[in-house]
A and B are shown apart, each in its own frame.
Chain A
Amino acid sequence: MTIKLSDVTVGLELPPLDLAFTRADLVAYANASGDMNPIHQDEVVAKSVGLPDVIAHGMLTMGRAIRVVTDWVGDPTAVIDYSVRMTRPVVVPNTAGGSTVTFTGKVAQINDDGTVQVDLGAVFGDVKVLGLAKATVRIAQ
């Protein structure tokens, strides 16, 4: 399915995504991104700096949040601007299921140039882990 601009209205809610964050995901993201900070892998180190447990890389959360938009438009290269504030960490226990984050998106604005601004949400339990998260996408006329 391809989204057309004529199908888009302000307030439209995009299909949400529930995504699990496991310790194995954090190891994979550390290796892929080069961010080897031990607070994302070693609970002894994480607790020594006052965290409740190992936390996910904020950039992994950012990388997954945009999937709400790119799954909706289909083409990931349609994203022309993307920004987030990493407000709270996603805590990842050493369990098979890890932690689940719910990602949401809502059309906030249709710009004069035909691009669309989507406001994004990311909630872990009842904690907002991303704030001021928004993406601008180009959508076919």
Chain B
Amino acid sequence: MGMNRDMIGHVYPPSQPYLVTTEKVSAFVSALGETNPAYATGTVAPPTFPIVVTMHAMEEAFHDPALQMDYSRIVHSDQRFQYVRPIRIGDELTVRASVEEIKPLGPSEIATFKTEVLSGDELVVTGWSKLVVRGPDA
């Protein structure tokens, strides 16, 4: 039962490149209800924009049969981003996702995924996401 601890430290292959366009950033800015004039010039993306690529990369990992993660019982509980620089329009992003930690949490389990977001060879931002997989009695 539970997630496969042998997968701790496993690094997934880089995700398919994602081109950051003006349209994608402005849709995200608008959905946040942002009024900051810094976004009006259409050069940088908001601090939480990286989730667009990191969540997609992690979803591939969630479905990896080797991980034995019950995808139907996941709750995203924590998120951190550490920025080297902002994401800019024109960046072509890839994500290197890895399993950093899996541990019990009461009747459930909690997994930490590290997601390094790169533009070409340059590290732009590192994300950490904690996902609670609710146990059968949780």
| A interface residues, Cβ below 8 angstroms from B | 19, 25, 28-29, 31-35, 58-60, 62-64, 66-67, 70-71, 74-77, 79-86, 132
Identify which of residues 71-130 in chain B touch chain A, using a CB-to-CB cut-off of 8 Å. Answer: 76-83, 85-86, 128
Q: How far is the CB of B102 from chain A (nearest CB, A)?
A: 18
Query: B46 on the interface (CB 8 Å rule)?
Result: yes
List residues of chain B with CB within 8 A of the CB of A82.
Answer: 47-48, 80-81, 83
Could you list some 18 contacts between A and B, CB below 8 A?
Answer: A25-B31, A28-B31, A32-B28, A32-B52, A33-B55, A34-B55, A58-B79, A63-B32, A63-B47, A66-B48, A70-B36, A76-B47, A79-B47, A80-B83, A82-B48, A85-B77, A85-B78, A132-B78
User: What residues on B are CB-neighbors of A32 within 8 Å?
Assistant: 24, 27-28, 30-31, 52
Known: A83-B78, A86-B76, A86-B78. A60 touches B32 (CB 8 A): yes
Q: A33-B52, A34-B52, A82-B47 are known contacts. Are A67 and B76 too (CB-CB below 8 A)? A: no
Give chain B's interface residue range (CB within 8 Å of chain A): 20 to 34
Those 7 A-B pairs whose CB atoms lie nearest each other, nearest first: A83-B80, A63-B48, A32-B31, A28-B31, A32-B27, A77-B86, A29-B31
Least CB distance from B56 to A in Å reads 6
Q: Contact mask B31-43 → A, CB, 8 Å, 1/0?
A: 1111110110000
B130 to chain A, nearest CB (A): 8
- A28 (CB) vs chain B CBs: closest residue: B31
* B83 / chain A contacts, CB cutoff of 8 Å: 79-82
Q: Which residues of B contact A25 (CB under 8 A)?
A: 31, 33
Given A25-B33, A28-B30, A63-B46, the answer on whether A34 and B56 have CB atoms closer than 8 Å is: yes
Known: A33-B52, A63-B46. Is A76-B36 also a contact (CB below 8 A)? yes
A56 to B128, CA, bound (A): 21
CB distance from B123 to the nearest CB of A (A): 13
**B69 near A: Cβ within 8 Å?**
no
- Bound together, the chains give a CA A63 to CA B33 distance in angstroms of 10
